[in-house]
Structure 1
Amino acid sequence: MSNSLKIFKSTVKDFLISLCVVFLAMFVISCEEEEADAPTVFVESIEVTGEEITEGTTRQMTVTIMPENANDKSVTWNSSDPSVAAVSSGGLVTALKNGIVTISATANDRATITGSTTLKISSFDGGGSGESSADYIVNTSAELLAAISAAQAGEVIEMQGGTYELFSKIRIVNSGTAEQMITLRGALEGGRPKLDFSAMSESSSNQGMVVEADFWHIKGIDFFRAGDNGMQVKGNNNLIEFCTFSECSDTGLQIDNGASNNTILNCDSYFNADSSIENADGFACKLTAGTGNKFIGCRAWNNLDDGWDGYLRGTDNITTTYENCWAIRNGLMKDGTVGAGDGNGFKTGGSDDKLLKHNAIYTNCLAIENVVDGFDHNSNRGVVTIYNCSAYGNGRNYNFSNTNPLEKLILKNSLALGDFGSTNTTTQDITNNNWTLSLTVTEEDFENIDVNELLLPRKADGSLPDIGFMHLTAGSDLIDKGVDVGLEFNGVAPDLGAFEFNN
């Protein structure tokens, strides 16, 4: 082979090699450009899972990231209450005390996608440790809803102080027992919890809390601005204690739907008003309510309709008891102007057909400065019993008619400052009241008639404040003028009115 041929072949070979190198380089550059142009895949959802801590103190949380081909699957962990449980950067939860805590994971790629789960921690023995003995300690609305759903007979949910914003009604459907009630309570320290339903629109379906279950004890909670009732009680044998219901778009607390044997103890209901300015009461055991319900030590003031409403529709011949309850300035709005409601202190009953019986028993109750009636008949056909009650400053202090009359009116040991009103019922047992005894009642019979005393704060245990309002003075001729009706009294006979004179 000639040298020129060898040189030609070598040149061709070198050219081909160089060409391959060029093509290979272009291919690599193209791939790198394609890879650089590929869009970033962000996290779209996170699911957090982990078991409740019923034994021990730690649990490992896991996350499921979607989509699976997300570029950055790292997350940042968070605990809603580090005093209940802490969570490490790797998702290990360490429990510190019993309670409810929400553990969340947030994607790091854009820090906008979060997943969470709520854990119950019950592995600590609170006895003698100085910690709350509650089974659930909650700080947020989500924790509260989770605890209510999970609670079983005998368990205690404790709400820490502060405002809990709610956007829909709370339904309680799981029941306790007579021996082991389920308790929902405000913490003993750190301020009262407030359930704020302000985000709700006004609607007949927008109650704040609906108690459909039996044997719950709900204590020390403020219910505010629900779109309908602050609380609706539809279950049986519940105890609602030391709660407030204010500025709701219908009655503060209402008992209906056959609910029976419930006790409302030391509760306040005030400034409730609907947009029609005529329907919102303080308390109501009405419409389809069952029998055996009690109100003890409760106050209702400045509700635009009635302090208490007993109007029936769909039930008959039930009995409701009122002990040491105060109805003040109902029929007036929060700003003191007159609304379009009925304006009664205690509306005993009534019905569409004017035939239904709501038997009502009032002992040691006050009806003060209500716009229309202090104690009101309203076509109730049942038996109404009024013992040792006081009325002052109402449009009519007592108003019972012989039109659609009661089955019977029993009225004893009671007084009216001002005109007593009218008690023209067909069947009655009315004795030992100041007007039946021809005893004139004046301001001098009382320590004071300062109505504002009735709105003083309650005592720490929830009981009514100590007052001098309409307490008899030593020289009053209303002392010992009553008759024994089975209530405790001082002296030789009961005094007239809601308060016994103390020597």
Structure 2
Amino acid sequence: MAHKTLIIILFLNVFFVFPIENPLSKSNHNIETTASVSNSAVADFVVSTPQELTNALAAITAGGNIFIREGNYVFTSRISISKSGTSSNLISILPHPDNTGRAKLDFSSMAENSSNRAITLSGSYWHIKGIDIFGAGDNGMFIGGSNNLIEFCTFSECKDSGLQIGSGGSNNTILNCDSFNNADSSIENADGFACKLDAGTGNKFIGCRAWQNLDDGWDGYLRPADNITTTHENCWAFRNGYLKNGTIGGGDGNGFKTGGSDDKLLKHNAIYKNCIAAGNVFDGFDHNSNRGDVTLYNCSAYSNGRNINFSSTNIANSLTIKNTISISGVSGGDSYSATTTNITNNSWQNGLVANASDFVSLDMTLLTAPRKADGSLPDIDFMKLVPDSDLIDKGVDVGLAFNGAAPDLGAFESVALGMDDFVVEQGVFNYPNPFSTETHVVFHTKETSKIGVSIYNLMGVNVFNIAEKTYPAGKNSILLDRNKLASGNYLLVIKGRDHQRNSKLITIQ
């Protein structure tokens, strides 16, 4: 059996620490009752018109919730949010539990102008979930506050970046959001997501997609911020640089622009884990004079102008690339220049050659498949390895979950089953994660197997168990209820007869 204390120390550095207040659950739609759980003096609001939403935003206090009903909300002026919640009492905008559709906030009647951002969030400790922001005269959302969670939202057809973080905004998490078809009238600007210019540090993008934005999928250009760190996990950037009608625009057309600055001196430290860059007009992963430290773990780059481009001009401080696939770059070979490099176990090394036969599919249209009901990314075959690919088990352990003797190359871990082994779907033990009420633990078995699940806190104390049970061959799912666990980070351990897997588990209240 693995030594639990050592495993916990290993995962501590990658845990996402973000306590969230979310009173909704599938079994309880009584809004008045849930509001009194945390603070009997806190009022909740149900809104169904633009004016009701505006009034609720003016009246809401820390710990309160705004439940927005499905429908089209037309706005003729921007929404400015300056008040803040607290770390233990967030302010939330959430879908009403009775919704069968989504709420669309339509700002398309506003003129294209830098002052016409749809939502400006200068406050901190907000949780905004499940809304579509459309047609803003500038950014769909601009975040200058800190410690906010933006979840399962979309940003489309805005005249500047769909979602931008700036004005010192730090430690924000953008979770399971999509940004697409953003373009300005000059046909040279508008990214999907942008953590740039004067942004703060510690911002994270998890499970997000950016496609067919005029400029870049993600833009990290700095002015004047310096030496900040931004993390991207399980994010997909594809076909950026194209307009909605499919023609090429005048923007840069990068998937992930890691940094850059006017004086070519500023450092944007960028971390990419299990990310995909595909079909972008220019670079998949782009240097652009970034002087910081850039890390790519288990990423996939396909059919970009250049898949990975770190030039020898205005060189990066360090570049680490491991377990990554680069295939079918359109405009030439990749470049990997930096003052210090650590580039090992990739598809172009150790005698490996990646080609189309390694993958179940290279159809980029799969990347726009609908998300799951909980907002998580769809299960697709794009760039998944076929069972006999020589890219399987050719990686090196970088702290991400893997099956088999060693990690596979690329963004998706293959399902390689032994007689009594179990594996985890796409290398992720549970979804959603973070979760507030319940989560699904998904695994596959080749034969009928006995499986047990345990949860440990970060001190190594066993706090919860699901008794061992026999599961049939094939795909299985365990519904894991929160069971009164406090908000925070835990270690999930799933055990079979001869096998054990461990992963991070995050509960939010």
Report the TM-score range of the alignment, normalised by the length of the smaller protein.
0.7 to 0.9
Task: Give, in whole Å, the separation in 1 of the partners of 2:31 and 2:122.
Answer: 30
Task: Give, in whole Å, the separation in 1 of the partners of 2:255 and 2:88.
Answer: 36
1:462 aligns to 2:363 (yes or no): no
Equivalent residue for 1:270, pick from 180, 185, 191:
180
Larger Rg: 1
Task: Give, in whole Å, the separation in 2 of the partners of 1:161 and 1:369.
Answer: 34
Equivalent residue for 1:224, pick from 103, 110, 134:
134
1:360 aligns to 2:270 (yes or no): yes
1:416 aligns to 2:329 (yes or no): no
State the identity %: 63
What is the one-letter code of the residue matched to 2:160?
A: D
SS across alignment from 1:228: coil
Correspondence list, 1:49-88, <5 A = none
Task: Give, in whole Å, the separation in 2 of the partners of 1:264 and 1:383.
Answer: 22
Kindly tell me: are residues 124 and 452 of structure 1, through their superposed partners in 2, closer, same or farther at Cα, counting changes over 3 Å? Answer: closer
Q: CA deviation at 1:436?
A: 2.1
**Structure 2 residues without counterparts, runs of 5 or longer:** 1-29, 37-41, 417-509
TM-score, normalised on structure 1? 0.74
Kindly tell me: are residues 300 and 124 of structure 1, through their superposed partners in 2, closer, same or farther at Cα, counting changes over 3 Å? Answer: closer
Q: CA deviation at 1:255?
A: 0.2
Q: CA deviation at 1:124?
A: 5.0
Task: Give, in whole Å, the separation in 2 of the partners of 1:123 and 1:191.
Answer: 19
1:256 aligns to 2:130 (yes or no): no
Q: CA deviation at 1:125?
A: 3.8
SS across alignment from 1:142: helix
1:487 aligns to 2:396 (yes or no): no
What is the one-letter code of the residue matched to 1:462?
A: G
Corresponding residue number in structure 2 for 1:97: none
Q: How big is each residue's C-alpha offset from its partner over 1:129-149, in whole Å with a ceiling of 9 and x where there is no partner? A: xxxx98100011010011011
Equivalent residue for 1:139, pick from 48, 58, 83:
48
TM-score, normalised on structure 2? 0.73
Task: Give, in whole Å, the separation in 1 of the partners of 2:201 and 2:256.
Answer: 17
SS across alignment from 2:128: strand
Q: CA deviation at 1:424?
A: 2.6
Contact 1:134 1:158 in 2 (8 A): no
Equivalent residue for 1:187, pick from 96, 102, 109:
96
Kindly tell me: are residues 124 and 416 of structure 1, through their superposed partners in 2, closer, same or farther at Cα, counting changes over 3 Å? Answer: closer
Contact 2:43 2:60 in 1 (8 A): no
Equivalent residue for 2:363, pick from 429, 450, 460:
450
SS across alignment from 1:453: helix
Contact 1:134 1:157 in 2 (8 A): no
SS across alignment from 2:338: coil
Kindly tell me: are residues 127 and 224 of structure 1, through their superposed partners in 2, closer, same or farther at Cα, counting changes over 3 Å? Answer: closer
SS across alignment from 1:137: strand
Task: Give, in whole Å, the separation in 2 of the partners of 1:123 and 1:345.
Answer: 41
Q: How big is each residue's C-alpha offset from its partner over 1:43-70, in whole Å with a ceiling of 9 and x where there is no partner? A: xxxxxxxxxxxxxxxxxxxxxxxxxxxx
Corresponding residue number in structure 2 for 1:151: 60
Runs of 4+ deviating beyond 4 Å: none
**Structure 1 residues without counterparts, runs of 5 or longer:** 1-121
Corresponding residue number in structure 1 for 2:195: 285
Q: How big is each residue's C-alpha offset from its partner over 1:473-495, in whole Å with a ceiling of 9 and x where there is no partner? A: 11000011111111111111111
Task: Give, in whole Å, the separation in 1 of the partners of 2:302 and 2:250.
Answer: 22
Task: Give, in whole Å, the separation in 2 of the partners of 1:194 and 1:373.
Answer: 32
Corresponding residue number in structure 2 for 1:401: 311
Correspondence list, 1:323-362, <5 A = 323-362=233-272
Contact 1:414 1:434 in 2 (8 A): yes
Bigger drift between 239-248 and 172-181 goes to: 172-181
Contact 2:216 2:257 in 1 (8 A): yes
The alignment covers a number of residue pairs equal to 378
Kindly tell me: are residues 501 and 134 of structure 1, through their superposed partners in 2, closer, same or farther at Cα, counting changes over 3 Å? Answer: farther
Corresponding residue number in structure 1 for 2:453: none
Kindly tell me: are residues 127 and 315 of structure 1, through their superposed partners in 2, closer, same or farther at Cα, counting changes over 3 Å? Answer: closer
Q: CA deviation at 1:123?
A: 11
Kindly tell me: are residues 123 and 182 of structure 1, through their superposed partners in 2, closer, same or farther at Cα, counting changes over 3 Å? Answer: closer
Task: Give, in whole Å, the separation in 1 of the partners of 2:43 and 2:159.
Answer: 33
Corresponding residue number in structure 2 for 1:426: 339
Equivalent residue for 1:209, pick from 114, 119, 123:
119
Q: CA deviation at 1:437?
A: 2.0
Q: CA deviation at 1:418?
A: 2.1
SS across alignment from 2:295: strand
1:441 aligns to 2:351 (yes or no): no
CA RMSD, Structure 1 to Structure 2 (Å): 1.6
What is the one-letter code of the residue matched to 1:438?
A: G
Task: Give, in whole Å, the separation in 1 of the partners of 2:167 and 2:243.
Answer: 28
What is the one-letter code of the residue matched to 2:407?
A: P
Equivalent residue for 1:382, pick from 292, 309, 334:
292
Contact 1:447 1:473 in 2 (8 A): yes
Task: Give, in whole Å, the separation in 2 of the partners of 1:134 and 1:393.
Answer: 52
Task: Give, in whole Å, the separation in 2 of the partners of 1:123 and 1:374.
Answer: 45
Q: CA deviation at 1:443?
A: 1.2
SS across alignment from 2:316: coil
Task: Give, in whole Å, the separation in 2 of the partners of 1:421 and 1:162.
Answer: 46
Task: Give, in whole Å, the separation in 2 of the partners of 1:499 and 1:338.
Answer: 29
Equivalent residue for 1:243, pick from 153, 177, 180:
153
Q: How big is each residue's C-alpha offset from its partner over 1:302-360, in whole Å with a ceiling of 9 and x where there is no partner? A: 00100000000011000000000000100000010000000000000000000000000
Correspondence list, 1:6-17, <5 A = none
Task: Give, in whole Å, the separation in 1 of the partners of 2:324 and 2:33.
Answer: 53
Contact 1:402 1:426 in 2 (8 A): no
1:304 aligns to 2:214 (yes or no): yes
What is the one-letter code of the residue matched to 1:353?
A: D
Higher-RCO chain (CA-CA 8 Å, sequence separation at least 6): 2
Task: Give, in whole Å, the separation in 2 of the partners of 1:124 and 1:439.
Answer: 60
Contact 2:238 2:277 in 1 (8 A): yes
Contact 2:31 2:44 in 1 (8 A): no
SS across alignment from 1:426: strand
Task: Give, in whole Å, the separation in 2 of the partners of 1:362 and 1:502.
Answer: 22
Equivalent residue for 1:175, pick from 84, 93, 96:
84
Kindly tell me: are residues 142 and 428 of structure 1, through their superposed partners in 2, closer, same or farther at Cα, counting changes over 3 Å? Answer: same
1:471 aligns to 2:380 (yes or no): no
What is the one-letter code of the residue matched to 2:386?
A: T
Contact 2:182 2:191 in 1 (8 A): yes
Q: How big is each residue's C-alpha offset from its partner over 1:262-300, in whole Å with a ceiling of 9 and x where there is no partner? A: 000000000000011111000000000000000000000
What is the one-letter code of the residue matched to 1:167?
A: T
What is the one-letter code of the residue matched to 1:437?
A: N
